[in-house]
Amino acid sequence: MKVQQAYIFALTRTIRELGFDLSPFVAQDSAMEDAEFYKLCEEAIALARDPTLALRFGAALHLGSHGLLGNALMSCRTLRQAAEFLVQHNPVRTAQGSIRFAFDQDNAVLSMMPGVELAGAPNFLVEAFFAAAVTAITELTGLELAGCRVEFSFRAPLPEEEYSRLLGMPVSFGKSANRLIGPRDAVDLPLVAAGNVVADMYVRQCGKLLRDQGRAENYAAEVRRVLLNARGEIASEYEVASRLHMSGRTLRRRLSCEGTSFREILDEARNEIARGYLRETRLSIAEVGGLLGFEDAANFRRAFRRWNGCSPQCFRETSVDSGFAPAPDTRETAFEMTSP
C-alpha cells in the first residue's frame, strides 16, 4: 500500500526542525511503498541521531495527516467508536504488527505490537504510533488527557521525565506491553460528530474505501476514492485532478484508456452517496440534492430516476418497507468541551 504524502511531509519537516535535510532521499510528489518509507525513516534516524525523533514525528501527525482513516476518526461519535475503527482498519501494515483495544475493570487500553524494527531505533514505530495517538485523541476531544498514561515494554533511552514532557502524560518503561491507558468511562463521552446525522454513514463509507484501497490500483478507483471521501461539496474534475497531482487533460486521457470518464464515475459516486442519505437519514430530497451539488431538486430527481429507475421518494419508501428505515432522529447534544 502507498504511504500518505502527509507522513513523508511530517517526517521531512521534523528532520528540518532538528537541523537536517531529507530532500536528497525524497522524490518530489512521489508516493512511497511501506518498505520505501521505512527506509526513509532509517535515513532520518541516521541523520538526526536524536532519541526524541519518533515522538516528534508522531506528534506532527494530526488527524488530517491520516487521510481516509483520519477523516473517519473525525466522524466518530465517541472515542470507543474511533478506537474500534482504528483496530478494524489497522494502519500497522505488516502481518506481525497488531493493534488492540480492550477494557479492564477501570481502564480502556489501546495496545500496539510493531511488525517492523528500524535500524538504529528499533522502537521508532511504537513511539511514533503513541505520540500520534495522543495527538489524535487530544484533537478529537479538545481536552487535556487527564488520568491517562503510556507504558512501554522496552527500556528507556531517555529519562522518563523527558518522555512524559513530550507526550504530556506519565510514561513508564519495562512493562509487559506497549499501551495507552485511560479512564474507562471517558471513551463513551460524545465527540463533536455526535450531533451529525450522517456521521455513522460517513464512517462506514470510509471503512469501505479503506478495505477497497488495496485492490485495483487504477485511476478510476483513485477518482472514486477522492469523490466518496469528499466532506461537504462534491469535488470538481479540476479539484480531483489536482489532488491526484495531474492536469485535467491528463486525467481525462487516463480515464479514457480505462474505458470510463469522470462524468461516469461522478454519477456512480453521487448515486451511492444519495442512496445512503435516503436510506439512513431524514434529510429532505432537496437537501440530499443540494449536498450532491444539484442546485435544483427537480434536476436531482431526474438524475436519480435515470440512475435507479425510480424517484428518490420511491426509493426511500421501498427501503423502509425492506427493513432499511432511515435512522431515527435521536441526535445527541455534543458534549461541551474546552480547549486545553
Final residue before a domain boundary, out of 192, 224, 243: 192
- Whether residue 185 sits in one domain with residue 236: no
Tell me: the pLDDT tens digits for 207-260?
Answer: 877 776 655 457 787 788 778 776 556 888 988 888 777 888 888 988 888 888
Distance CA(218)–CA(144), nearest Å, equals 42
Q: Which residue has the higher pLDDT, 89 or 12?
A: 12
15 in a structural domain: yes
Cell of 61: 501527525
Query: What is the pLDDT at residue 276?
Result: 84
Cell of 129: 504510533
Distance CA(171)–CA(164), nearest Å, equals 5
Query: What is the pLDDT at residue 232?
Result: 58
Q: What is the CATH number of the domain that holds 234?
A: 1.10.10.60
336 in a structural domain: no
- Whether residue 171 sits in one domain with residue 75: yes
221 in a structural domain: yes
Q: What is the mean pLDDT of residues 61-74?
A: 89
- Whether residue 280 sits in one domain with residue 156: no
- Whether residue 154 sits in one domain with residue 222: no
What is the bridge-based pairing of β-strands 32-33 and 107-113?
A: unpaired
In this predicted structure, the answer to whether residue 106 has a pLDDT above a threshold of 50 is yes
Tell me: the pLDDT tens digits for 32-46?
Answer: 778 788 999 999 999
In this predicted structure, the answer to whether residue 320 has a pLDDT above a threshold of 90 is no
Q: Which residue has the higher pLDDT, 117 or 11?
A: 11
In this predicted structure, the answer to whether residue 31 has a pLDDT above a threshold of 70 is no
Range of the domain at 97: 2-192
- Whether residue 238 sits in one domain with residue 126: no
Decide if 72 contacts 203 (C-beta within 8 A). yes
205 in a structural domain: no
Q: Which of 326, 306, 331 is nearest to 316 (CA)?
A: 326
- Whether residue 123 sits in one domain with residue 49: yes
282 in a structural domain: yes
Total number of domains in the chain: 2
Query: What is the pLDDT at residue 55?
Result: 96
Q: What is the mean pLDDT of residues 55-82?
A: 91
Query: What is the pLDDT at residue 21?
Result: 92
In this predicted structure, the answer to whether residue 332 has a pLDDT above a threshold of 60 is no
Q: Which residue has the higher pLDDT, 333 or 244?
A: 244
In this predicted structure, the answer to whether residue 335 has a pLDDT above a threshold of 50 is no
In this structure, which amino acid lies at residue 240?
Answer: V
- Whether residue 178 sits in one domain with residue 245: no
Q: Which of 145, 140, 113, 143 is nearest to 129 (CA)?
A: 113
**Hey, which of 46-60, 260-274, 283-297, 314-328 has the most confident mean pLDDT?**
46-60
- Whether residue 240 sits in one domain with residue 91: no
107 in a structural domain: yes
pTM: 0.66
Q: Which residue has the higher pLDDT, 4 or 159?
A: 159
- Whether residue 179 sits in one domain with residue 91: yes
Query: What is the pLDDT at residue 327?
Result: 43
- Whether residue 187 sits in one domain with residue 114: yes
328 in a structural domain: no
Alpha carbon 271 to its chain centroid, in Å, reads 23
131 in a structural domain: yes
CB count, 10 Å around CB of 42? 16
The mean-pLDDT minimum among 57-66, 71-80, 223-232, 294-303 falls in 223-232
**Sheet strand arrangement including 179-183:** 98-103, 107-113, 179-183, 149-151, 171-172
Q: Which residue has the higher pLDDT, 329 or 164?
A: 164
Distance CA(152)–CA(150), nearest Å, equals 7
Question: What is the percentage of the chain residues whose pLDDT exceeds 70?
Answer: 87
Q: What is the CATH number of the domain that holds 56?
A: 3.90.1520
Backbone phi and psi for residue 76, each to the nearest 5 degrees, phi listed first:
-75, 150
Instruction: Supply the mean pLDDT for the chain.
Output: 83
Q: Which residue has the higher pLDDT, 215 or 315?
A: 315
- Whether residue 159 sits in one domain with residue 82: yes
- CA dihedral sign, ordered 111, 113, 116, 119: positive
Query: What is the pLDDT at residue 293?
Result: 85
- Whether residue 173 sits in one domain with residue 269: no
Tell me: the pLDDT tens digits for 107-136?
Answer: 999 999 887 889 999 999 999 999 999 999
Decide if 75 contacts 196 (C-beta within 8 A). yes
